[in-house]
Amino acid sequence: MKKNIIYLGFVLLSASATFNSCMQDNDSSVTEPTRYTSNDVKSYADLFKVFWTVMDQRYNYFYEQKGKDGMDWNAIYKEYYPKFAALKSYNRIGVSDAELQADAEKASVYFTEIVNPIIDRHFYVKINVPFSNSGITNTYTFYGGMKEARANIYPFGAKYGYMKDRLNDAESRTYNYSDGGSMTYLMGSLKSNPDIYYFSYSSFLLARSLKIDLADKYLSPGPGNSLVLTPAAIENSPQLNAIGDINKRNEVKNFTINILNEWNSFPNSNEMKSFNSQIGTFKSTEVLSDSFLDLIQQLLTKSKNLVKYNSTTTYSSVLNSETLPYIQWFMQEMDNHVKYGYNLSQFQTAADKILTSAPFYKKFLNPLHKGDIKKVIIDLRGNGGGNIVDARFFTDRFITKSTVAFYQRTKEGNGQFNYTPWVPVQAQSHMFGIPGNIPVAVLTDKGSASMSEMSTLMFKSQGTHAISIGDYSAGATAGLGGSDDFNGGTRDKVAGGILEFYMPLMATKTLNDEVIEGIGVKPDIYVTPPSDAEVAQMTSSPKTFTDRVMEEAIKYLLTK
């Protein structure tokens, strides 16, 4: 697929820009990764060929790999295709289980040899191979650096246990999501040095978990909304007018109109009007006053204790066989009135979001914007990344000058070296960010990946007042996104799920023109990673243990 124009802004942090191709695509026909089917893989040779071709078309670091360690992707094909072709058991014809498993293990060794040198630390590929004649397959996972020893890191839970009693007015909360995502944050000023504020979080799901994004008003349907139930609609109800006993008809009519009016008294209340009138103030300041929060709590409590219009027990005094059809109609209309006309759940969700996020705003974001926080430690150790929107929601709050933070590029065509130019990615100030530069110590280790690294580069782009301390980060800086928007990368199942790739679509380099994939962001103050004993002691003896990285951060900030 030939793409000569790239619009940046969806995955990158910079504004939209347009670039032309560095190199022309080969016009020969190619197969998109998702167009391979299981019929394209009938042998180990086919399996390797599909794997090699998808990598050839979509991997972003062949140029750097060739310069770094001499990787020649074409030479890999010439070397390994005959090895895979020599494995004859893939179609399970005339072979034993032992032969199937022996070939599977050989294939695993070959793929490990090929993939281990890959520098992209986001990348992995899962490959299914036949493992027995009863139809069992085995799934192997291969990733760059899989044979390398990993430096120790402090798990977030251990770090949390160590830090929580060292903070004044410590605030924390955990968010768990049905898709498997989770985020815990911990914050507060240091007891040992109250002028230093500490903030740590387990993943970049801050905006998803904590951002308060309000509508202009709630429980305020527009005029003429057909989902809103009115007394006139009740009067004209065929079910009501079908009740022959006029006294019973009037009784049940008045009863249900009273229920409608009772429910409507909540959205029409002065308290609700006050809430809506204060939304604009929050949007323009992000400040949550105690009185506003008290009002929200009162309204939320009331909203959960309104008249029970959807319970037949409510209508027991007027319910009989003749009134039942009307009451059922009324209950359904009230349900539409509440759920869709007034959208009560929208208000309840917003109110709950405000109340649960309030400590984060009141204790951190608001004082940060006011300039009350003078020094800060952002502890990204063990934070494996997450959503790029957090760069806008959180990291930008520490940006005081618009400047290039790093560069990114993607594939322009299907050739190994068909790349776009490197595109500068801007760090931009937030309207509720810090009023002026403050000393910032960003803590990193080999568990700090992806958005942790992007944010670290953004912090460091602002000047020498922001430094990183600890170990090198993970070296997983490649940008993720959808391959429909760019030509690089793929996160798809290929050949009917025989292969599954997780391959970023963008390469990244630093302001110093260094590609740090597989290496990591170099800390300004390097601290050796923790030993096995230190990792264990942080958990077993948090009150007496000394975190060497924290000590270095405090020592640095005390000089500022």
Tens of pLDDT, residue by residue over 98-154, are 999 999 999 999 999 999 999 999 999 999 999 999 999 999 999 999 999 999 999
Domain boundary among 321, 351, 381: 351
Same domain? 414 vs 549: yes
Distance (Å, whole) CA 233 – CA 226:
10
Q: Which pLDDT score, from 0 to 100, does residue 487 have?
A: 63
Q: Which pLDDT score, from 0 to 100, does residue 415 have?
A: 84
Q: Is residue 240 part of a domain?
A: yes
Same domain? 241 vs 326: yes
Same domain? 406 vs 293: no
Please report which confidence band the pLDDT of residue 34 belongs to, taking 50, 70 and 90 as the band edges: confident
- Which of 21-30, 117-126, 269-278, 465-474 shows the lowest mean pLDDT across its residues? 21-30
Same domain? 362 vs 304: no
Least Cα distance to 69 among 522, 519, 523 occurs for: 519
Helical (H) or strand (E) element with 424: strand 423-427
Q: Which pLDDT score, from 0 to 100, does residue 481 have?
A: 65
Q: What is the DSSP string of 281-293?
A: HHHHH----HHHH
Same domain? 243 vs 198: no
Domain boundary among 306, 321, 351: 351
Domain boundary among 351, 373, 396: 351
Q: Is residue 460 part of a domain?
A: yes
Number of domains in the chain: 2
Q: Which pLDDT score, from 0 to 100, does residue 484 have?
A: 52
Q: Is residue 431 part of a domain?
A: yes
Same domain? 244 vs 332: yes
Mean pLDDT rounded to a whole number for the chain? 92
Range of the domain at 430: 156-206+357-479+514-557
Helix (H, G, I), strand (E, B) or coil at 51: helix
Helix, strand, coil fractions of the chain, as percent rounded to 5: 40, 15, 45
Q: Tokens 């990598």 sit at which residue?
A: 55
Same domain? 388 vs 283: no
Please report which confidence band the pLDDT of residue 22 belongs to, taking 50, 70 and 90 as the band edges: very low
Q: Is residue 238 part of a domain?
A: yes
DSSP lists the bridge partners of residue 427 as 403
> Buried b vs exposed e over 258-276: b needs ≥16 C-beta within 10 Å?
ebbeebbebbeeeebeebb
Q: Which pLDDT score, from 0 to 100, does residue 485 have?
A: 53
| pLDDT 10s digits, 217-266 | 999 999 889 999 999 999 999 999 999 999 999 999 999 999 999 999 99
Distance (Å, whole) CA 242 – CA 361:
56
Whether the per-residue pLDDT at 11 is higher than 70: the answer is no
Least Cα distance to 83 among 122, 109, 50, 63 occurs for: 109
Q: Where are the beta strands (DSSP E) in 107-217?
A: 124-130, 137-143, 167-176, 182-190, 196-201
Same domain? 344 vs 362: no
Same domain? 441 vs 461: yes
Retrieve residue 300's tokens.
Answer: 């939320």
Q: Is residue 36 part of a domain?
A: no
- Which of 18-32, 325-339, 376-390 shows the lowest mean pLDDT across its residues? 18-32
Q: Which pLDDT score, from 0 to 100, does residue 495 have?
A: 95
Q: Cβ neighbours of residue 314 under 8 Å, at least 6 residues apart?
A: 259, 307, 308
Q: Which pLDDT score, from 0 to 100, does residue 416 have?
A: 87
Q: Which pLDDT score, from 0 to 100, does residue 352 have?
A: 98
Whether the per-residue pLDDT at 28 is higher than 90: the answer is no
Q: Using an 8 Å Cβ cutoff, are 482 and 405 in contact?
A: no
Give the CATH number, domain containing residue 552: 3.90.226.10
Q: Which pLDDT score, from 0 to 100, does residue 385 have?
A: 95
Q: Using an 8 Å Cβ cutoff, are 516 and 121 in contact?
A: no
Distance (Å, whole) CA 539 – CA 157:
8
| Residue range 19-38: mean pLDDT, rounded | 60
Q: Is residue 280 part of a domain?
A: yes
DSSP lists the bridge partners of residue 469 as 443, 525
Q: Which pLDDT score, from 0 to 100, does residue 8 have?
A: 29
Same domain? 345 vs 412: no
Same domain? 386 vs 459: yes
Least Cα distance to 319 among 252, 240, 238 occurs for: 252
Q: Is residue 172 part of a domain?
A: yes
Q: Is residue 223 part of a domain?
A: no
Same domain? 258 vs 196: no
Distance (Å, whole) CA 280 – CA 275:
10
Which has more confidence, 480 or 319? 319
Whether the per-residue pLDDT at 399 is higher than 90: the answer is yes
